[in-house]
Structure 1
């Protein structure tokens, strides 16, 4: 699958020079868009540069870059899906209640931050938390919607709150 890797790259410029074209090509084939692929490639290298892991510890640079690139690609798809759902919801609002472009941008940024904060939660825990926080449902109502007992909802909410608190500490 991967070629035999050269000895660990010693510097970031070497890593970039040796693997940028390959990574960008891989992303372009997945995305079908050279501009997005170039952006994601750059973001991947920025993540690597900001990482606490020393470059000399990277034994398989392409595998490492591919892992980071796949995560960023997944995040991009998730963000676009969220944007699409938000814009579709706006279409159904009466014109007098539609937010201004500035408000739309702020709302979308807030939704994306919330989505990122809740990333990593089990889907049922995430859903319980969102039903509580966004729809204001009681634990009994959430339990009914999810088809679980109220005690499970309490446990889900505790997990969600713990997740949010730990994320804030980082």
Structure 2
């Protein structure tokens, strides 16, 4: 028990040193890429939170490289979320006023769409594309096979793989 507390204290101290040594650089690096100091500050903080949650800190000579890699992934997530939000707002603008969902519902839908997007991006390209062609474009398996230049059997496997990933993710989200 005492050993775990000591390790936790050591991790927090090392993270504090890493933060003091590199936070200014990381914030500047993010701001140069994002053009927004507020978003850069948020993503810089999220970078350190991610390190703390993982419980792993890089060797001092690898610190900036490691921070940049984490921050780059967070920027990709940020841009992806912004695209999803814009697409959702566009879809909402086509709805008549009484059908527009509440702010709370909109936030929940966006969070769900972001999780689905992240899940689908973990799949290889063909299963992801087959799933989207089926679910969003309403194409039949033979149409998808023709579009992807694969057999119908392959499309069935791709869709099954995507559905399995969705099912597993849904199980992991259950309380």
Change (3 A) 1:59 1:166: farther
Hey, which bits of structure 1, 4+ residues long, moved more than 6 A?
A: none
Q: Distance in 2 between matches of 1:72 and 1:128?
A: 27
How much does 1:11 deviate? Answer: 0.9
1:113-149 deviation line (CA, Å, top 9, x unaligned)? 1112222223332132234445665423433554543
How much does 1:65 deviate? Answer: 0.3
Q: Distance in 1 between matches of 2:112 and 2:157?
A: 26
Q: Distance in 2 between matches of 1:144 and 1:125?
A: 14
Which structure features the higher share of helix residues?
A: 2
Aligned partner of 2:109 in structure 1 is 107
Range with greater deviation from structure 2 (83-92 or 158-167): 158-167
The TM-score with structure 1 as length reference comes to 0.79
Aligned partner of 2:28 in structure 1 is 25
Unaligned 5+ segments in structure 1 are: 1-9
Of residues 16, 37, 44 in structure 1, which corresponds to 2:19? 16
Q: Distance in 2 between matches of 1:56 and 1:88?
A: 42
Q: Does 1:76 align with 2:78?
A: yes
Q: Distance in 2 between matches of 1:51 and 1:58?
A: 17
How big is the alpha-carbon RMSD for the aligned residues of Structure 1 and Structure 2? Answer: 2.6
Q: Distance in 2 between matches of 1:138 and 1:57?
A: 52
Match runs of 1:29-48 below 5 Å: 29-48=32-51
Q: Distance in 1 between matches of 2:86 and 2:158?
A: 28
**How many residue pairs were aligned?**
160
The TM-score with structure 2 as length reference comes to 0.77
Check whether the contact 2:58–2:66 (CA below 8 A) recurs between aligned residues: no
Aligned partner of 2:100 in structure 1 is 98
Q: Distance in 2 between matches of 1:59 and 1:33?
A: 28
